[in-house]
Amino acid sequence: MQLNAEQKRAVEQDGDVLLLAGAGSGKTLVLAHRAARLLKEGDGRLVAVTFTHDSAAELKRRILRLSPGQEHRIRTGTFHALAMMQLRSAGREIRLLNTGDRNRLIVHALALTEEDIEFDNMVRIIDRVKSELEHRDYSGEGYKTYHAYQDLLRKDRRMDFADLLTDAIDGIQEGSVPPHSMRWLLGDEFQDTDEAQYRWLMLHRELTGAEMTMVGDDDQSIYAFRHALGFAGMERFRDAVQATTLHLSNNYRCAPEILQPAGRLIQHNTYRAKKRIQAASDAGGRIACRYPRDREEEAEWFIASYREDREGWAVLSRTNRLLDVLEIALQQEGIPYFRDSDDDFWSLKEPRALLTMLTGIMEGGKALALPVGNGRGRNLLGQTALERRLAHSRTQLLAGCRAGLYLCGWKASVTEGLLKQLEPLPLSEWKAFVEGWIKETGTEDVKKKTRKLSSGVHFLEYLPGWCTVSLQDPVLLIEGLRRWNAGLLPSVSETCAIALGSIARLRGTLSQRLQFIDRLAQKKQESAPVLGPETVYLTTMHGSKGLEWEKVWILGVEDGVVPHLDGELEEERRLFYVAMTRARRRLELSAVREGNPSPFLAECGIEAE
């Protein structure tokens, strides 16, 4: 590919450079050509740091294609990979924790200190302390647990992922860890660097005198929740090394019909570098906004568009959960898709508990239908086999009860104590026993132990009827479950409502519907995803960064979702800009009529179709 005038200047500029490269502007191409020029014109080693292993490998491949035979002079990697190389060269033993072990150590540390901090909040505190280099003398919220966690790591001679960078920085400053040998230091996605990463870069500058080229786009700074420095970090670098600031303003990805509204949107941000954003590709793109009735119709409209033109689709959303309804619809329609997430919908806690509950209800129905007299059914089913079958059904029923009461918010200790007393009783006697149990225990005492007393009591009250109807009329059962689900906590009922709606749209008996879902989950586990041209790519807006597709559909473009209620306005605007600029030729936006359209649509100048 021939370089344009801006790209040529970025390749040929002497000295330290801050390159502001917009979306689709060919920054990797420029970095590779600049690296090749530097290697050709001088002696020494070149180090390039990126944020993913794939981008590091791709950059190295491009550099070597332009500079064959220079592999021994080039080192590319992520910050943490390069830090690990340093620690190993200093003779450090590296035993990294996996995520599960890390979580267990944090729980252990919380138990030791007895600080009143939620687990998820403690994880955020630990990550922030290390990314902001407060790790040595931290004395803020959760400091006892933080230091207890670090003591447990040292005692076990382990480190977590963030320790790679903090240990390398501490070692460089103390003189026990050597810096990488280099003459040139290149960095990509510079807007995403946090304090620790910035310090690692500047230490190498101080100790090696390396000439630096940092590439980034302040309009794509979307990781404040990971403590990224964003535009402030770019200005700080520019001032620290007196770097020449250059721009890449031509977008070779997006059709002008897509880029122009995205450009109008991002210009509403006040804290950004002034720059031109212009489309280099020909006209002929399409952008449209639709207003479906609800999430189900939103999924139906996407599937209809997909059937008209199957290739090159990605669907993006502000949060992962917004993709659930569409994922289920794609499964049921047999449309190939890849979801960029560790868990699919049915492996989430709430849907998984709901399926266990439904299986228990179905088995309870089978138990009620089994002959229990001495003579009935003996010719069809031997007494020993009958007893085994009955025992199996009751075991499944109890598991279903645990799952149902979990969804109600009952504590495990309360549930287990109750089920131990219910287990020997006939199902028809459960309701009366529970009512007596509540009176005997004391309603206020039970309320302290259960977040939703009434929904749990209703669950046990309705259970015999649900078991009876489960084998004859799954539609009636699901309607009853929907009414019960409406009384659960919103965080639970919203996800369960999606699951129940999906099961309701299937055909057949309850057993056949559950088997269908089980086969889908099993098929996903057994087969590796094949990203063919007709595979729909599902991901979040954050997950879409660095990717591009011919056609993009953005779900849930409603106020309160985009921008998100918990987000900072300018960062949310940047995030929507990133999502829009993933599309090459076609961009579809949808906002359900239940909510208000996102104010970002008006800022883009987009009219409803």
Burial of 283 (0-12, 13-18, 19+ CB in 10 A): exposed
CA distance 548 to 99: 30
Q: How many residues does the chain have?
A: 609
Single-letter amino acid code for the residue at 161: F
List, in order, residues 6 or more apart from 233 with CB less than 8 Å away: 190, 191, 193, 198
The answer to whether residues 403 and 394 touch, using CB atoms and an 8 Å cutoff, is: no
Task: Tell whether 524 is in a known binding site.
Answer: no
**Angle at which helices 27-41 and 5-12 cross, to 10°:** 40
Burial, 115: exposed, middle or buried (Cβ in 10 Å; 0-12, 13-18, 19+)? middle
Using CA atoms, how far apart are residues 483 and 340, in angstroms rounded to an integer?
Answer: 33
Whole-number Å distance between alpha carbons of 311 and 551:
8
Strand partners, 96: 159
Of residues 20, 537, 17, 585, the one with CA closest to residue 266: 20
456 known member of a binding site: no
Residue 25 assigned to a binding site = yes
Query: Is 155 annotated as belonging to a binding site?
Result: no
Q: Rounded to an integer, what distance in angstroms lies between the CA atom of residue 320 and that of residue 223?
A: 16
Query: Which residues lie closer than 8 Å to 432 by C-beta, 6 or more apart?
Result: none
Q: Cis omega before residue 563 (within 30°)?
A: yes
Distance of CA 191 to the CA centre of its chain: 20
Is position 42 annotated in a ligand binding site?
no
Dig out the tokens for 421 from the structure.
């007393």
Sheet containing strand 74-78, strands side by side:
74-78, 46-50, 184-187, 211-216, 17-21, 244-248
Nearest residue to 327 via CA among 318, 339, 316: 339
Is residue 23 marked as binding?
Answer: yes
Between helices 412-422 and 383-407, what is the axis angle to 10°?
150
376 residue type, one letter: R
Return the ∠ at Cα 524 (arms to 520 and 526), rounded to 5°: 115
Contact 68, 98 (CB under 8 A): no
CA distances (Å), 332 to each of 480, 507, 522, in order? 23, 11, 15
- Pairing relation of β-strands 286-290 and 583-590? parallel
Rounded CA-CA distance 423/247 in Å is 72
Nearest CA among 169, 163, 51, 171 for reference residue 105: 163
* Residue 57 annotated in ligand binding: no
377 annotated binding-site participant:
no
Q: Which residues are annotated as a binding site for ATP?
A: 21-28
Q: Which residues are annotated as a binding site?
A: 21-28
